[in-house]
């Protein structure tokens, strides 16, 4: 079931503090991280809770992890 879900997706509205580029969400087995595709900075999800849209939350629903 989880293998069919995409492992990365564009995190719309969530931008890197340094580069000002949109972040990419990376799904691993039990976690999701936000990473800048340019500088590689990793951000915790809790910093972007207000910016999460329905599409982002739907992708998160397929990851078995502790909820924020």
Mean of all residue pLDDT scores within the chain: 75
Boundaries of every domain in the chain = 2-60
Rounded to two decimals, the pTM is: 0.63
How many Å apart are CA 31 and CA 20, to the nearest integer?
24
| Contact present, 42 and 33 (Cβ < 8 Å) | yes
19-34 confidence digits (pLDDT tens) = 999 898 887 777 778 8
pLDDT band, residue 36 (cuts 50/70/90) = very high
């Amino acid at each position: 079931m989880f293998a069919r879900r995409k492992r990365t997706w564009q995190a719309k509205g969530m931008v890197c503090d340094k580069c000002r580029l949109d972040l990419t969400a990376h799904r691993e087995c039990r976690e999701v991280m936000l990473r800048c595709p340019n500088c590689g900075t990793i951000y915790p999800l809790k910093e972007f809770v207000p910016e999460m849209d329905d599409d982002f939350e739907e992708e998160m629903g397929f990851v078995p992890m502790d909820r924020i």
